[in-house]
Every structure is written in structure tokens, then in C-alpha cells.
Structure 1
Amino acid sequence: MRLIRVVAAAVVVPAAAAVLTGAVAQAEPVAVQSVVASGDDGNVPANTLDGDLGTRWSDEGDGVWIRYDLGSQVDLGSLSVAWHNGDQRRTTFAVQTSGNGSDWSTVVSRRASSGTTRQPETYDFADRGGRYLRIVGYGNTVNDWTSITEVGIFGADSGGGDCAYPADVLDLTAWKVTLPTGGDEDPDEITQPRLDTFAADPWFVATDACDGVRFRAAVNGVTTGGSSYPRSELREMNADGSDEAGWSATEGTHTMVIREAITATPNDKPDVVAGQIHDGDDDVSVFRLEGTRLYVTKGDTSDHKLVDDDYVLGTPFEAKFVVSGGSIKAYYNGVLQTTISASFPDGYFKAGAYTQANCDRSDPCADSNYGEVVIYDIDVTHS
């Protein structure tokens, strides 16, 4: 049984915790009434509120958390977090708020700390009311621990969030992006570390509310040599982003979960792919919208499994692939839809907007005619 520590103390978060980027300097610190954590190793939750960067809270595991009770409903807009050994490693985390301590809304989707400083890092988000704020940790680039030295919580700042780049919203460490721009059959591809500070409006940008990343590919966009259709799409890389990922469908378990919405389709041929399993040669299975009908495909069979016969553009949904033991299981909003036999040695995941139309099949041939997907969260695991 996990130890849950509760520390009750009416603590006003130290002003020093707000001194980092200046993005939320106008917001007032919020008083914390108590703090509770999923567990600790003797470095207790209260240490994150003592104004001392030499103390910390630590817990080990995937999904550990520390939760702050603000005493009553408060309009929130940002927080600052100082990470233990934050100049030596990157910690993956998410931030959630709740009005009752049970039902949680994600305000900072899963992402990574900078890995460059031990000082507090500020994370701005679209203003949201809540009594509780929770930081969920998923380990760091060295080990499975989440360790925090200081936390500051701040009120609403009348902003929609502070996210200059898609990597400020999603953890893109293990991805590259292919864009509908560049030379003929030679689209722009952005890899790490450049991807951490890259955006391309309107093709690959954070949403105004900083709650998602917009992927847009117009019918007149540049295509790859192997396709006649444009894309603004992530391609899975290895853990540090230095090389392309490739894994076997018959060894290990490989999972991708995307929380997303398809927000636009091209004229005449309103088809968009919003998530893929790919092998060395071609797509194996994808989530594909054709008009209002959302399918999971199987190879060249585009209508293999109908998962929604009346999809409304802009409706968020969860798409999930699990590849293990020579099979692919595809889930839609948590419900298993189909199981597909598969055997390939060099698989990888893709996510974003792969527009299934071009200037020969859709009019007008212009930037204003496009497919678009917003990704709110994406998680890939291998075991």
C-alpha cells in the first residue's frame, strides 16, 4: 500500500517561485492550504512550499503525483516548478486541476521540463477554475523518479496561455515533424533539438488556448516522394529524437494513445488520416475520416471497421493502437473496435493531419482548402 502524506498548512507560495520568465509576473500567488502526494522517499511534499531549493519532494514510478488544495474554488492561470537536478535531466509531467479532487481536467498536457536549470520554470495555461492542482510525474531522462524542489501557483492572468511552440504543449522529444512545405517531393522535416523551438504558422502551431497543437495540410502542399497527398504529421523517433524508431510487431508491446479532434477536411474529397501505424513500406492501420464516417483501416481496406458513422468536426476523441504478439488492437474512446493480425520488423507511429486530397481531386487549389487535426495529448510507450 502506498503512503499518502498530507501536510496541512496555510502557505502563501513564496514570491521567489514566480521569478523566471516574467510571463505571469502580473498574476497573484495563490495560498495553498494543504499538500498531499502519492508517496515519497522521506523527501516530503511540504518541501515544495518551503522556499528552499535545497529541499525536495520525490516519488518513483509512472504517474506519481503531488496535489495542492487551495481551500476553495480559485481562478488559476499558471504555475512555476523547480525540478531537482533540473539542469542535468528532463522530467516528463502533466498538470491537472479539479473542483472536487476526483474529476480532473488537464491544463498542461504531458511534456518535458527544459533540462537546463534548477530555477523555477513557469508553465502558463488557459485560465481555469479549480480548488485543487495536481502535478503528475512520469520519471526523467535518467531514472523513474519525479523530484520537485519548489512549486508556485498563480491566479488567472487573463491570458490564453504562454506557448510559443508546439513543444511547449506536447512532449515532442521522440518525434520529428514532416510539413506540407519545401521543395518538390522534398518536404521540410524538423527534428530534435530544433523541434523544441519550432513552429510554422498555420501548418504546425500551438492553439490559442495552449491546450493543443494544430496540424494543417492544404491540398496544394508539398508531398513526399512516396505519396501524392500532403501532410503535417509527426513521425516517431527513438527516445532522444536522434534517429528514426523501428520496432517489431511480434516482440514487445507498443502503444500509442492520442487525444485529438479532426477540425477541417478538404472540399470534394473530405478525407483526413489522423493517426497511423506504419511499417517500412506503407501504412498498416490508420484512423481515417471520410466525410462524417470515421474508420480504422486494414492495409488497403480503407473501410475495414466503422467506428463512428456521424463524426462532427471538432469533436475530441481518443484513438489508441496497441501492437503486441503479432496483432494490432485499435480502440476508439476506450472501446476495442478491431484486432488485426500483423507481422513486420520496422514499425513506427505517426500522428497529425495527413490530408487525403490534392489539387487534382479538390478545388480550390489553395492554402484555404485543407485538412486539419488538433492533438491535445499524445503518449507512446514500449515495453
Structure 2
Amino acid sequence: MDRRQLLKTMGGSAIGAAIGAGLLGCSPAAGAAAPAGPPSDILPLADWWLTLPTGSPDATIVKDLAGYQADPWFVGQDDGVRFRANVGGATTSGSAYPRCELRELNPDRTQASWSFRAGTHEMDVTLAVTAAPVRKPEVCLAQVHGTSGDLLIVYYDAKAGGIRWKLESVAQPKVVDYAPGRPLNVRIRVADGRCEVFLDGTRRIDFVSDHATCYFKTGAYVLSNPSKGDDPAAYGETVMSRLAVVHT
């Protein structure tokens, strides 16, 4: 078995819990975050690509994130990195929703592709949801992309008042309450055909699969568009303060 190991180490400290005032209308939080250096100075981004909600007809893919930022979508602030996607933004082919989201790569810059049936695969990320649209207030924080689409999506649903998940696009019940603005640690572990998701250290999601050609994604994937009744300028937003991935 190929025993490759990559470690994308922790960047930044936790974001203060007070970010969350006035989120659901996409209002600025009380006490605007101070600007910081580019995201690559805050998080380990060498082994990631970024999809932005800009471009025509398809979303923009940025393949080198060293020193890169794109205000207001992808910028450093305080000790975190802001990811923002507007409801009316450009989408990737095959998706109805826009995103500002990282896509996992191998250390040699090829696209990561691993299997539930071999090895152990973990992503450990800490994010705070800082804005959501009004009509369909759902923002994906982290996911495992499967063989032919989204296998696992972990997302904030303001109407449910917490964190929910989807398995192969089928929505599942809320697994934990969540207050917007509070940093949430999400750890996804895949081994021996099983996926476990820990939220702030407690296992909340557990399922089995035999999917291959998988990879991790994380950032802000806003699960709405104008057809859902949201204004095109409305957006979903997260602030990420930790990002680590290990494969063995």
C-alpha cells in the first residue's frame, strides 16, 4: 500500500465568537475584522486549488494560491481567511450553486483521488459561518466529493438552527445546534470503508461506503441561487482558522 502522508498544518488561532451579529441578511458583523496578509500567509494552501464565484460562463479556478487574494471573496482577516460566495455568482459545470471553495491536491499538484477501501484519510478544519442568504440560508462548510458527485456535505442550515448533512444529495436531520459566528471544528475521517465526522470532538455522523476517486473540499459553498428566491447579491460566508489534511 502506498503510504503517502501529507500534513497541511494548522494556521491561525480561533476566531472570536462575536463575529455573528446580523448574519442572515448578510449584514456586516459588529466590529469589522481587521485586514491581514494574503490567505497563504495564514493557512497552508500549497496543496489546494480554489474555485471562485466569478467568471463566465463557468466559475474561476485559481491553481496557485501563493500570495493570492480576491476581495471580497477570498481574503485574510485577523487570524483567519474569509471565503464568500454570492447567490448569483458563477457556478461550476454540473452544479446549480456558487462557491468559494478549496479542492484538495496531491503534493505533486495533481488532483487528489483516494478510496474508502484503502488507507486512512482525514481533514481537520475549523470555520465560523459569518453570513448566509435569507430565503434558503444554507452554507456548506466541508465535503467529501465522491466518484460522480458530492458524497458527503456538512452544512449550516439557519432554518434548522444547526448543522445538517447530506449523503449523496439526500438531506439528513440536524446533528447539532450551531450559533453563527462561533468557530466550529469539523474533522472528517475515512478508513476501512467508513466515514466518521466529529464536530468539536464529538462523533455526529457515521456511514459506510465503497466510493473511490474521492477528495476533500472546504470553504463556503452557498446552497442557494436566485431561483430559490434569494437576491443575487446575498451571500454565504465562512472564516477559516485551521486547515489540516493527513493521508496514510
Q: TM-score range with shorter-chain normalisation?
A: 0.7 to 0.9
Residue 67 of structure 2: aligned partner: 197
Residue 147 of structure 2: aligned partner: 280
Deviation at 1:172, TM superposition (A): 0.4
* C-alpha distance 323-218 of structure 1, shift in aligned 2 (>3 A): same
Residue 238 of structure 2: aligned partner: 373
Choose between structure 1 and 2 for higher RCO, CA contacts under 8 A separated by at least 6 residues.
Answer: 2
| Structure 1: stretches of 5+ with no match in the other structure | 1-61, 63-90, 96-105, 110-159
Deviation at 1:161, TM superposition (A): 7.5
The 2-side partners of 1:266 and 1:282 are apart by: 24
Q: Report the AA paired with residue 168 of structure 1.
A: D
Q: Report the AA paired with residue 248 of structure 1.
A: S
Deviation at 1:92, TM superposition (A): 7.2
Deviation at 1:108, TM superposition (A): 10
| Structure 2: stretches of 5+ with no match in the other structure | 16-33
Greater CA drift, 264-273 or 289-298: 289-298
Which of these residues, 163, 179, 191, is aligned with residue 294 of structure 1?
163
Residue 25 of structure 2: aligned partner: none
Q: Report the AA paired with residue 293 of structure 1.
A: G
Residue 19 of structure 1: aligned partner: none
The 1-side partners of 2:172 and 2:14 are apart by: 35
Residue 223 of structure 2: aligned partner: 356
Deviation at 1:281, TM superposition (A): 1.1
1:166 has 2:36 as partner: no
Residue 341 of structure 1: aligned partner: 208
Deviation at 1:200, TM superposition (A): 0.6
The 2-side partners of 1:94 and 1:275 are apart by: 16
Q: Report the AA paired with residue 207 of structure 2.
A: I
* C-alpha distance 350-92 of structure 1, shift in aligned 2 (>3 A): closer
Residue 60 of structure 2: aligned partner: 188
Residue deviations 1:10-39 (CA, integer Å, cap 9, x gap): xxxxxxxxxxxxxxxxxxxxxxxxxxxxxx
Deviation at 1:236, TM superposition (A): 0.3
Q: Report the AA paired with residue 373 of structure 1.
A: T
Q: Report the AA paired with residue 199 of structure 1.
A: Q
Deviation at 1:162, TM superposition (A): 4.9
The 1-side partners of 2:133 and 2:167 are apart by: 23
1:303 has 2:172 as partner: yes
Normalised by the size of structure 1, how large is the TM-score?
A: 0.55
SS of corresponding position for 1:360? helix
Residue deviations 1:301-336 (CA, integer Å, cap 9, x gap): 2125x2223x21111110111001111011110011
Q: Report the AA paired with residue 170 of structure 1.
A: L
Q: Report the AA paired with residue 61 of structure 2.
A: E
The 1-side partners of 2:246 and 2:10 are apart by: 16
Q: Report the AA paired with residue 99 of structure 2.
A: R
Q: Report the AA paired with residue 75 of structure 2.
A: V
**Which of the pair has more CA radius of gyration?**
1
Deviation at 1:277, TM superposition (A): 0.5
The 2-side partners of 1:94 and 1:332 are apart by: 17
1:322–1:329: 8 Å Cα contact kept in structure 2?
yes
C-alpha RMSD of the superposition: 2.2
Instruction: Determine which structure has the larger strand proportion and give its number.
Output: 1
Residue deviations 1:36-71 (CA, integer Å, cap 9, x gap): xxxxxxxxxxxxxxxxxxxxxxxxxx9xxxxxxxxx
1:266–1:362: 8 Å Cα contact kept in structure 2?
no
Residue deviations 1:208-262 (CA, integer Å, cap 9, x gap): x1x111000001100111111000000001114x211000111000000111111
Residue 219 of structure 1: aligned partner: 87
* C-alpha distance 315-202 of structure 1, shift in aligned 2 (>3 A): same
Which of these residues, 98, 107, 111, is aligned with residue 230 of structure 1?
98
2:224–2:230: 8 Å Cα contact kept in structure 1?
no
Percent of pairs identical after alignment? 36
1:296–1:330: 8 Å Cα contact kept in structure 2?
no
SS of corresponding position for 2:66? helix
2:13–2:241: 8 Å Cα contact kept in structure 1?
no
Q: Report the AA paired with residue 70 of structure 2.
A: A
Deviation at 1:363, TM superposition (A): 3.1
